[in-house]
Structure 1
Amino acid sequence: MALIQSALVFVFPAMVIVAGLKDLTSYTIPNWISLVLIGTFFPAALLLGLPPEAIGVSAAVGVAALLGGMVMFALGWIGGGDAKLFAASALWLGWPAFVPFLLITCVMGGALAVALLFLRSNQLQAFVPSNPRWLFRLATKGENVPYGVAIAVGALAAFSTSTLGVAFAGLF
């Protein structure tokens, strides 16, 4: 049973890492990543013995994050994949881990934007190789910011404080 619990819990860090890398290299976060996160949350929560109230609170946090992500998407601040990853991560993290997740994601998003401004500066752009193509695109002026990277860092940093993370740590 512990092996199944572990496997389900490790889906979260694996998927957010894949999402961050995918966004960094292609500026897209495939829908299947968010669907895997949503689909595995409930079995993981049930197998780890989370009470129905905690599962409900996590679901509410996920829905609120989805609504917030939709607003940010509508304003052109983030992409659709970012909004879905943000909501799916919030579902896994629940309350109160959503607060550090949000703060770390914001700080990392700002740091990522500043780093990309520096990388895209006239002084550095001449030194960026044309291959791999994703790195060249990352350094291209006017290109988007892959916020999935910041979301992944925030999610990984907050996971140990989440209800699921604490329940998982209690197994060992």
Structure 2
Amino acid sequence: MIAYLLLSVFPAALLIAAANDIYEFKIPNWISLVLVGVYPAAGLAVGAGADILMEGALIGAAALAIGFGLFAAKIIGGGDAKLLAATTPWLGLGSLGVFLFNTALAGLVLALAMRMFRKLPILPVYAHAPWLIRLHERKKDLPYAVAIAAGGLISFSQTPYFQLVIGG
């Protein structure tokens, strides 16, 4: 029961990050901290070995370094870099490629959808939802946590923790 509860933190955190990024163009640090903090506890709860925990930690450290390089180059935002780094340990090396592909594909769909949305005129109904106006007017910004969340959720069933829980 505890294993399922701790395992549910991953999809819940990704959904909260995506919603917050759409709403405010920000990903709160506490979401990444929760993902990083619950990762080892979830691993112990599902019976993951030290090798799986260490692999995740190393992947997360590498993702953080790469993410901050992309942030420094102004390719992605700082919140996106931290969310990617906090997400990758959960995925493990085996499903990392699938996650990155799914995230890139979701990012492409997101970019196309945002482009079409931003070509439409601002409707009067948006006055009741200021976040829609922000989403419409910030033409160079993309709430990429949506793509990260989509990639993570689509790849979740292939993660080592999920496989341990379902007996795969």
- Does TM-score exceed 0.5, indicating one fold? yes
Superposition deviation, residue 35 in structure 1: 0.4
What percentage of aligned pairs have identical amino acids? 40
SS of equivalent to 1:130 = helix
Partner of 2:111: 113
Aligned 8 A contact 1:100 1:158 in 2: yes
Counting matched residue pairs gives: 167
Bigger shift: 128-137 or 29-38? 128-137
- TM-score of the two chains, using structure 2 as the length reference: 0.94
- Give me the whole-angstrom Cα distance separating, in 2, the residues matched to 1:46 and 1:105: 27
Aligned 8 A contact 2:95 2:158 in 1: yes
What are the residue-to-residue correspondences of 1:1-172 with 2, within 5 Å? Answer: 3-121=1-119, 124-127=120-123, 129-170=126-167
Unmatched segments (≥5 aa) in structure 1: none
Superposition deviation, residue 95 in structure 1: 1.2
Please identify which structure carries the higher helix content.
2
Aligned 8 A contact 1:137 1:143 in 2: no
Aligned 8 A contact 2:92 2:159 in 1: yes
Q: CA RMSD in A?
A: 1.5
Superposition deviation, residue 141 in structure 1: 4.9
